Structure 1
Amino acid sequence: MVTVAHNPPRIAKANGIDICYDTFGDAQSEPLVLIMGLAGQMVQWDDAFCVRLAARGFRVVRFDNRDSGKSSKLPGKRLTWWEALKALVLHMPPAASYTLRDMARDTIALMDVLGIRSAHIVGASMGGMIAQEIAIAFPKRVRSLISISSTTGNPDLPQPSAKAIALLSDPQPTDREKFIARFKRMWKVLRAGRFPEDEALDRSRAELVYDRGVNPVGVDRQIRAVLASGSRKELLRTVKAPTLVIHGTADPLVDPKAAQDTAASIPGAKLMLVAGMGHALPIRMWPQIIDAIDKHAHQASAIAARVA
């Protein structure tokens, strides 16, 4: 088995905030930055997943987004039902203390701290939206783009299932056992199927997330950022980074049509639909997802080297 170095979490001063991050793999390997989704923490890119990616020849960087985990908590009020309804139905975005573009700048600033001029950018769900923003606004910093379980923000796309919306709109409990119970219920819905390997880890995963710090108001601020940022569909036509769009056919939160829309919006993008995958990265599906990321990223680097 390949031994992979894991550098412990550190705090970087970047874009005017504290960003908690850690890295896996050789510092001289190709940089690959993982961006987690709404309310997620960097540890929700499982250690074992990161180790497997690093073993493919990457320096894997994961971090807590602002308002999550051990990164900075920002000011701003909770999102009301009325504001959310106006955004989704009337396309009237709420006021937001920051946007997805600001979160993209966080990523770039962290790369600056780490001395990374360009990287393969991988984002899941809201992280995919942030990754798209990076490819739009900072094209020279992106070696390749991998957008997972995400969307362009196109308001004409199908909305999440009622069950998924009801679960995610339920406020995060601050009591430890209630948080763990909600975490388990939520991921059972988002995985959209029976995945015993993941279900067996749900409690320990929830404990890790809770013990690192939960921030219910921060989740609302991240939702505000998503709603206030609008559609990227037209701007994505300017993206030149080699792009891979990965999406589950059973996703109950972000309809697979969103993946088709993303791939159609980015010139030359490839689409990979994973049969039976919901809005999660189940252990059972890691091999095909890691293979796809590995192949796409290294092909992009090889093409760039030939052009240079």
Structure 2
Amino acid sequence: MSERYLDANGIRLAYDDFGNAEDPAILLIMGMATQMTAWPLSFCQGLADRGFHVIRFDNRDVGLSEKMLTARIPSTVGMMLRAAINRPLRVSYKLDEMATDAIELMNALNLERAHIVGVSMGGMIGQILTAKHSDRVHSLTSIMSSSGAPHLPRASKKVTRALLKRYLGLVKPSLESTMAFQRLIGSPGFPQSDEELKEKVRAAFQRSFYPPGFARHMAAIMASGSRVDLLKTITTPSLVIHGRDDVLVPLACGIDTARKIPNARLEIIEGMGHNLPESLVPVLTDLTAGHASAVTSSLSLSAASGAA
């Protein structure tokens, strides 16, 4: 790893990049309590090989980016109770602030515009960024994410039970328990070997382990609510990718996201769950690079036509 650091939105963010800095930029935004290293190197390099300058970063409160050490750690039970009775949640930050982190990262890197690619919570952040800063976004790709509409289905009962046990401390984070959870939400059509999964989980634990960030990310999602009205305002070319076998964020969430964004394109991947295994990388690379390339070509044609 060749992490670098910069100040963005008043906090220190860790990032790295791939490819030629003169090429169109793709900004990768990772999901809840997940480090930027969860973006497979093969995916990042594959996009760079297709002519893009790829930047990935650790969100606040995770990985090697700054931890919000003075921020309160929300009670999971308390959050659930307040949400159940429609009481406002007391949180340290919401997804809007995390979207501002991404914009300020772009500013610090002198990126006027970028293609935005977000997975899970990162897709939610990307949606907000695109809606509120359309002049900074060439295209949006939202992967295994959601609009946050309250009527949408939740995670499967088995996944919900597993999450609650982790939240309540009944299952301690460990190599074995994390691998078991990853198996639960993984992609049945794109299986990972024990060696691949173990290496990914072990490397993540060795790089950074910070449970309070998990709680605050979950609180940010819950407190941010629905993005339906925002999505309806997006005019940026958008691609929504979702797995048919996602048991954490069900397929209906991706379908709803694509319906809410005007003219969005929906790609449903058979056998895909809620992870990014190596065997899925070629499919994701083709879809992501293809979408960004088409938009880049269209922009170049428009610019040439305007100059003529």
TM-score (norm 1): 0.92
Structure 1 CA distance for aligned equivalents of residues 119 and 293 of structure 2: 20
Indicate which of 215, 221, 224 corresponds to 2:216. 221
Structure 1 residue 276: Cα displacement: 1.0
Query: Which among 21, 46, 49 is matched to residue 27 of structure 1?
Result: 21
Indicate whether 1:137 and 2:138 are aligned: no
Q: Counterpart of 1:4? A: none
Residues 237-248 of structure 1 correspond to what in structure 2 (within 5 A)? 237-248=232-243
CA contact (8 A) 1:192 1:252 kept: no
User: CA separation of 1:31/1:135 partners in 2, compared to 1, >3 Å: closer, same or farther?
Assistant: same
2:95 pairs with 1:76: no
Give deviations 1:242-294, integer Å, cap 9, x for gaps.
Answer: 00000000000111111111111111100000001111122222212111111
Aligned to 2:268: 273
CA contact (8 A) 1:173 1:179 kept: no
TM-aligned CA distance change 1:52 to 1:91, over 3 Å: farther
**Aligned residue among 176, 184, 197 for 1:189:** 184
1:56 corresponds, among 37, 44, 50, to 50
* 1:18 is aligned to 2:12: yes
Report what 1:233 is aligned to: 228
- 1:149 equivalent to 2:157? Answer no
Among 248, 252, 267, which residue is 1:253 paired with?
A: 248
**Mapped partners of 2:248, 2:88: distance in 1:** 20
Give 1:86-97 correspondences, 5 Å limit: 86-87=82-83, 89-97=84-92
Q: What SS does the aligned partner of 1:105 have? A: helix
Contact 2:187–2:246 (CA under 8 A) maintained in structure 1: yes
Matches within 5 A, 1:152-167: 152-167=147-162
Give the SS at the match of 1:170.
Answer: helix
**Which one of 4, 8, 24 corresponds to residue 2 of structure 2?**
8
**Counterpart check, 1:66 vs 2:60:** yes
Q: 1:82 offset after TM fit, Å?
A: 3.6
1:72-99 deviation line (CA, Å, top 9, x unaligned): 1111223322422442x44444111101
Which residue in the other structure is 2:306 paired with? none
CA distance in 1, matches of 2:195, 2:102: 32
Partner of 2:34: 40
Structure 1 pair 198/124, CA: closer, same or farther in 2 (3 Å)? farther
Shift of 1:163: 1.4
Of 264, 268, 278, the residue aligned with 1:283 is: 278
Aligned position for 1:3: none
**162-171 or 95-104: bigger deviation:** 162-171
Which stretches of structure 1, 4 residues or more, deviate above 4 A after TM superposition?
Answer: none
Unaligned runs of 5+ in 1: 1-6
In structure 2, how many angstroms separate the alpha carbons of the residues matched to 1:93 and 1:50?
A: 38
Using the alignment, how far apart are the partners of 2:193 and 2:281 within structure 1? 12
Partner of 1:98: 93
Identity of aligned residues (%): 39
When the two chains are superposed, the root-mean-square deviation of aligned CA atoms in Å is 1.9
